[in-house]
Structure 1
Amino acid sequence: MGRILTTGRSEALKTFWGNEIERGGGVVSARVAVFTVFALNGAALGSWAPRVPALAVQVEAEPGPLSLAILGASVGLLVAALLSGRLVERYGPRTVLLVSVLAACAILPAIGAAPSLLWLGIALFLLGFTVGVVDVAMNIGAVVVERGVGKAIMPLFHAGFSVGGLVGSAAAGFAASHGWSPARHLTVAAVVAVVVLLVVVRGLPGAAPRTEAAQHTGRAPARRPVLWLLAGIALCSAIAEGASTDWSALLLVTEHGLTDAAAALAFSVFSLTMAATRLAGSWIQRRFGARRMLVVSAVTAGAGLLLAALVTAPVAGFIGFGLAGIGLAASFPVALGLAGEAGRRADGGGGEREIAFVTAIAYTGFLAGPPLIGGIAQVTSMSTSFVVVALIASCIAPSAVAAMRAGDRERTPVG
């Protein structure tokens, strides 16, 4: 299995990177440019989230009120997802990404310098909104590149997000350990992000030509069963990923008896296995097909989460979250890639509104998932709540089968 994954990563990376720099004009290739934006988006999360303890002290906030401020970021993400599809459809990924990434970079220092809980909540809402626009636009850009390559490479782009998150969190740890204030740290992070963006921006996909085919809008996304099913895959994945991110450490402390420091490693294991699997995910998808990949991934994630929930040996927790990272790695990117294909027009464009629709529903999982899991744990136990998460992750399998069948029915002419 290890040899297969190694071979898969090698072939996938070779397909993905191709000629890293286009010879014409020395412009960074579209693949590299979009991958870099994914990494910048992950780095944004990895930069500010680890500084929450310092920000809490800075604004003198207790955990309860602070959680409401953090909720503002999730609300901003959801609002942006509802609006971003048409923006990208009209102006193209390059323009929307340039404006939204620059806006996010301007907001990061404001988060670090927030003088009160209210200002922190407003800044996090604005960051969530701008990052939400980035998220939709970068996934649409990824679909454009994927179509140009002619092969499924969406998981590799999402590996960029995972890598960016790890780099951002490592930089945050460095800043905190050297006594940097959140304002200083996030200002430096924003400046670095702007420089990187300006290096790659010309390689990002531009607006599609407004041909006659492009004027045809087709069926509204909400009227297409295949998109609801793909959104269900993304939603289940978002709930399970959010629960693993937010509650894994607490599960290992309360149910497995680990210390806080040891339990924190569970998220690291989850993130590393997810990033590694995404590097091989494109090859696996092409080798075995999206349907089989999603079904096996769902079973793997469900089994891993059940293991972490029901077996109290400490090693079981780490193995369980490692399996969860492997199983959840492909669900979200593959669902978005299939949504883009479901919206493809005859002229090769399209998919903007379909990706935005699936993303918006998935974001409700990030928004509602953590409090839902916390509420279940409050009335039962943390182990029981993760059994529920395992069942939710397992629902990806039947949703994937149903989505593929619905897509086949849409492509089959009636009569």
Structure 2
Amino acid sequence: MTAHASSDGLARPPVPTQVRRARWAVSLIFFLNGASFCAIMPRYPELVESIGLSNTAFGLAIGLGPIGGLLSGLFAARLMGGFGSARIAVAAQMIASTSHLLVYTAGSWLWLALSLALAAAADAITDIAMNAHGMRVERRYRRSIMNSYHGWWSLGAVTGGLFGAAAAQLGLPLWFQGLIGLVLFGALAAGSFRFLLTGHDSTERSAAAPPAPAGAGPSAGSAGEVPADVAPSGLRIAGMSLRALGLVSALGMVLVFAGSTEDAGNTWGALFMTDTFGAAPFLAGMAFVAMQGAQTIGRFTGDAVVDRLGDRATARLGALVGMAGMSLALLMPSPVLALIGFAAAGWGVATLFPAAFRAADELPGVPHGVGITVVGWFARLGFFVTPPVVGALADALTLRHALWMVPIYALGILLFSAVLSTRQHREAP
């Protein structure tokens, strides 16, 4: 095994085989997390029709679903502290794959809402745990790889979306599609566990902080970090100072608007194509695929872009692209421009989840796992609030008019992106 050159031309220590395998295992969990649920979304028009739901009722069911995620996400840090991020990520993903079968077989509004709540509860814990474990592996790599994880999530989402769209076009029964997902996705998640990192989740954090020389005072990190045991006293919430809580909350607001943008394609993309253009089932599913496909490209190339521009400039550039693309699609509606608009929105928010999770996990004075948990909780808040709003607007006006919320989300990203770093990701020494 040989050393590789880093972005600054210096030799980088080789990455051990165990760590490389752990990276692929984490990537697989991200892929499965995206594929398992996103395979459902192209079938939403069938569920709406079979149950007989209005846009408002459907949006309310989708919006109530994340309540499960909001509640379960509060316990993610405690679960990881007791069982480790590896066990929790795998177990929660297997539970999520099981609960998705209930969504496919929903026969009433209440059944749909409750099954979505259970799926969201499992997904929230998976999301937090797999990001936490991904940060462990990134610290072993000593360079940015978080965007690639989320790229695998988006690739899974595209794969699941294509599978769901093809199944809809072929008339595959909903229950049968759900059964395939349960067996396939659940088995792959279980198989990934043996390749994840062992040891306590704080292992890499401890190794990254060299001990101070004898007699020296506490040293500050590159961001002025103050060790938790010598942090100033004062009012603390969940182990965080009010300033740290404010920063984490601002990072969470970035994800509120990023998640709301994703929801526009996830929940409403197929319905928009069907209602506005009378699109066939496969073409209707392409709205979701266009958004996730562009997001996949943005995430796999995102580490290089962020290293050059920094998280803040990348976020603002993406918000402007998403705003312009979706505005054009809504001003001049056609199937082609609609797909371009959804793609622009997906590319625009591609790097925001990795950026916010990394920043929250590395904030000074924030206990391990708590930053990611809080930021992830805010993201679920966006998924909870916006679907009922868009659904009500769609019934009062049209879905085309309701989707003008997407450019408004971009304005929110521009506002709160100020909390993201302006610096490129630096390799650990």
Shorter chain as denominator, the TM-score bin is 0.7 to 0.9
Given the alignment of the two structures, is residue 260 of structure 1 paired with residue 279 of structure 2, yes or no? yes
Distance 1:31 1:135 in 2: 16
8 Å contact kept, 1:93–1:205: no
CA 222–135 in structure 1, closer or farther in 2 if over 3 Å, else same:
farther
**Residue type at the aligned position of 1:334:** A
Structure 2 runs not aligned, ≥5 long: 1-6, 8-13, 207-226, 230-237, 424-429
For 1:33, which of 25, 34, 58 is the aligned residue? 25
Q: Percent identity?
A: 26
TM-score, scaled relative to structure 1: 0.79
Q: Partner of 2:38 in structure 1? A: 46
CA 55–86 in structure 1, closer or farther in 2 if over 3 Å, else same:
same
State the 1:275 CA deviation.
0.9
Given the alignment of the two structures, is residue 156 of structure 1 paired with residue 175 of structure 2, yes or no? no
CA 382–67 in structure 1, closer or farther in 2 if over 3 Å, else same:
closer
State the 1:399 CA deviation.
1.6
Alignment map for 1:161-180 (pairs within 5 Å):
161-176=153-168, 180=172
Alignment map for 1:158-237 (pairs within 5 Å):
158-176=150-168, 180-206=172-198, 208=200, 218-219=239-240, 224-237=245-258
- Structure 1 window deviating more from structure 2 (368-377 vs 143-152): it is 368-377
TM-score, scaled relative to structure 2: 0.76
8 Å contact kept, 2:63–2:385: no
Q: Partner of 2:357 in structure 1? A: 336
Identify, as 1 or 2, the structure richer in helix.
1
State the 1:202 CA deviation.
1.8
Q: Partner of 2:408 in structure 1? A: 391
8 Å contact kept, 1:28–1:203: no
State the 1:384 CA deviation.
4.8
8 Å contact kept, 1:34–1:157: yes
Across the aligned residues of Structure 1 and Structure 2, the Cα RMSD in angstroms comes to: 3.4
Distance 1:293 1:233 in 2: 13
8 Å contact kept, 1:297–1:331: no
Q: Deviations over 1:133-154 (max 9, x none)?
A: 1111111112222222122222
Q: Partner of 1:355 in structure 2? A: 372
CA 177–352 in structure 1, closer or farther in 2 if over 3 Å, else same:
same
For 1:375, which of 392, 395, 402 is the aligned residue? 392
Q: Partner of 1:364 in structure 2? A: 381
Structure 1 runs not aligned, ≥5 long: 1-10, 12-17, 408-415
Q: Deviations over 1:30-78 (max 9, x none)?
A: 11011100111111212333344555677x5534655554444322122
Q: Secondary structure at the match of 1:337?
A: helix
Q: Partner of 2:234 in structure 1? A: none
Q: Partner of 1:7 in structure 2? A: none
Q: Deviations over 1:323-370 (max 9, x none)?
A: 22211111222111211121587xxxx541111101111111111112
8 Å contact kept, 1:222–1:228: no
Q: Secondary structure at the match of 1:96?
A: helix
For 2:53, which of 59, 62, 68 is the aligned residue? 62
Distance 2:397 2:101 in 1: 40
CA 322–185 in structure 1, closer or farther in 2 if over 3 Å, else same:
closer
**Residue type at the aligned position of 1:303:** A
